[in-house]
Amino acid sequence: MFRPNRLKKMLQAGSQPIGCWIFFSDSDSIELLSMCGFDAFIIDHEHGAMEMGILVEQLRAAQATDVTCILRVPSHDPVYIKRALDMGVEGILVPTVESADEARAIVAATRYRPHGGHRGVGYPESRAANWGLAELEYPANYRENLLVAVIVETRRGFENVREIAAVDGIDMVILGAGDLMADIADDFAALTKLGTYNNSELDRLLAEAEAIVRSTPDCWLGGVSRHVAGGRELFAKGYDFVLPAADGWLLADAARSVVTAMRG
């Protein structure tokens, strides 16, 4: 569905939007969550079990509200990016970006000629352009209504974060603490502590990257927290967009809470 990108408008206004990860491969749960007040979803195709056909059903369910739907694609594959965009996702999130050249290639995969890209012209038939009903409006306005985000989550990526964030067309950098912790860990014992993130080198790299992205014009800073308190802390540190929830986390937390309460 072609419509204004509400998440981008909120970010431009400094509204601190909140998001929710979507890992479940169904449309009912995403429809329910879309009615709960989240500003954006990141639907996960990197680790989730979803397929493209399921994605369209999830988009239909979520886009009955004004929640913005971003797809975390599994890789930098321009063909996957093209198909996702043609199906009507309102943004993409690309994992494990480590250089400015990779970031530029990602932007090029989202853009048509002559806008500095090589995306195949499919809008006369695509859901993104309302199945061709917005055939003239879509190519004229798709760039301002598309959010392109990347995850920086390795030591090499953090070393190059300044150049990555400065690439024209990269709207947001999300800092991935979990994979960075795995990348810098020097032994198995350190890996077993993943989730606590109690590591001085990790803290240093995160702080430096946060400052760099926050100071980069036209690039927003995104982050993930497993809990609300951590999400509020990220906003207090200057993050623009925070994901403090996921469909699986919410279900697991609620279920364990009920079981614990009933067993006294």
Place of tokens 């072609």: 2
Where does the chain have alpha helices with state H? 6-12, 28-34, 52-62, 78-86, 100-110, 137-141, 155-159, 161-165, 177-184, 188-191, 200-214, 228-236, 247-263
Q: Which residues pair with 222 in a beta bridge?
A: 174, 241
User: Does the annotation mark 47 as catalytic?
Assistant: yes
Residue 29 identity: S
Task: Look at residue 76 and give its three-state secondary structure.
Answer: coil
- Give the integer Cα–Cα distance in Å for 94 and 109: 11
Grouping H, G, I as helix, E, B as strand and the rest as coil, residue 128 is helix
> Measured between alpha carbons, how far is residue 131 from residues 63, 94, 128, 135, 191 in Å?
16, 25, 7, 8, 47
Residues 3 and 89: their CA atoms lie apart, in Å, by: 11
Q: Which helix (H) or strand (E) holds 93?
A: strand 91-94
Distance (Å, whole) CA 168 – CA 111: 12
Out of 47, 76, 115, 118, pick the active-site residue: 47
Catalytic residue IDs: 47
